[in-house]
Amino acid sequence: WDETHFGKMGSYYINRTFFFDVHPPLGKMLIGLAGYLSGYDGTFPFQKPGDRYEQHNYIGMRGVRLSRPVSSWLVLLCLSVQMLELSKSLPAALLTAFILIFDTGCITLSQYILLDPILMFFLMGAVLSMVKCNSCADRPFSASWWLWLNLTGVNLAGAMGVKFVGLFVVLLVGLNTIYDLWDLLGNLNVSLVMFGKHLLARVLCLILLPLALYTAMFAVHFTVLNKSGPGDGFFSSAFQSQLIGNNLHNVSVPE
């Protein structure tokens, strides 16, 4: 059923038809983009689970261009986190990768048009970036430190932009940041000016950057979906007047 739902959302993006859904737009936009790049024309109705795709080119949306590469990257991310930063143990890292490769749930999720593999990619990316940034604590404000701090913010935006469950990794990174700042505040070798710079860097990269990217996702969402569709009724008359094909299109609506 979920593949039917998200496949239809991808078709809406390809056809630029406005719709309303409970999830943020990033994952569905990526699914639509994968379908578009692989030649899918957005005409399959996705009426009920189990319908045959027949001549419709669904491969890009279902796996080859998106979900399976994402699932493969999950193994690399997990291996990198375990081996390089956390356990420092190659056997532990290989065992973790082995378990993930042969996990039935992960294999199943990677076969269909779903948001979960994309969400897991950004979740693991955020954790990896956070851990790598922590490893650069002895070189604050270096190029690598800024890189991983910014990548943490980018992955946080990606996780929130796919599903609201991504807020849990925001909580994890937030707690890690609070602990890090508290440790710096208690370090007598760190001046208040330097502490202020650390605080400002984290506000910029872990709060303002994710919020800006999250907002930009919706800007793209509303720009692409400019035609009337099944989601019109959830929004105001003024908004509906901007949708091509709506009965109120280009009608002057009072504020």
User: Using one digit for the tens of pLDDT, what is the confidence trace for 21-43?
Assistant: 889 999 899 888 888 887 887 77
Query: How large is the average pLDDT for residues 215-224?
Result: 95
Instruction: Report pLDDT for 169.
Output: 95
Which is more confident, 254 or 208? Answer: 208
User: Which pTM value belongs to this model?
Assistant: 0.87
- 163 close to 24: Cβ distance less than 8 angstroms: yes
- The three-point CA angle 125-127-128 to 5° equals 65
SS3 of residue 17 by DSSP: strand
How far out from the chain centre does Cα 26 lie?
6
Task: Using a pLDDT cut of 90, give the percent of the chain over it.
Answer: 42
Query: How large is the average pLDDT for residues 90-105?
Result: 78
Query: How large is the average pLDDT for residues 145-159?
Result: 96
65 pLDDT above the threshold of 50: no
6 pLDDT above the threshold of 50: yes
170 pLDDT above the threshold of 80: yes
Instruction: Report pLDDT for 81.
Output: 66
